[in-house]
C-alpha cells in the first residue's frame, strides 16, 4: 500500500474498526498521544488497540475542556 494510502486509512480509522491494522496506525501518533489531533480517531485507537498514550491524551482534553455536560444535565433532572 502506498504511504499516502496508509496515511488516509489512519486518518479515517474511527470508521474502519477491526478492519484496520492498528499497529500500523501508531506510526501516525503525535507526541501528545493524539492521532491527527482528532479526538474521534484517538478514541478509536483506545478502543481497538488499548493505546495508553491515546487515553492519556483524551483524559487531558476532558481535564482541560470539561465534558459535554450531557451527563451532568441529565443528573439534574
- Residue ranges per domain, the chain? 3-76
Q: What would the mean pLDDT of 34-49 be, rounded to a whole number? A: 89
The CA–CA distances, whole Å, from 4 to 7, 21, 29, 71 equal: 5, 16, 16, 39
- For position 48, what pLDDT does the model report? 87
How does pLDDT run across 44-77, given as a tens digit for each residue?
Answer: 889 988 999 999 999 999 988 887 655 554 445 4
pLDDT tier for residue 17 given thresholds of 50, 70 and 90:
low
Whether pTM > 0.95 for this model: the answer is: no
pLDDT tier for residue 31 given thresholds of 50, 70 and 90:
very high
For the beta carbon of residue 57, count every other beta carbon within 10 angstroms: 22
Amino acid at each position: 500500500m502506498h504511504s499516502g494510502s496508509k496515511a488516509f486509512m489512519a486518518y479515517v480509522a474511527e470508521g474502519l474498526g477491526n478492519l484496520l491494522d492498528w499497529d500500523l496506525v501508531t506510526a501516525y501518533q503525535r507526541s501528545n498521544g493524539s492521532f491527527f489531533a482528532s479526538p474521534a480517531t484517538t478514541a478509536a485507537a483506545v478502543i481497538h488497540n488499548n493505546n495508553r498514550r491515546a487515553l492519556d491524551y483524551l483524559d487531558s482534553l476532558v481535564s482541560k475542556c470539561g465534558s459535554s455536560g450531557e451527563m451532568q444535565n441529565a443528573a439534574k433532572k
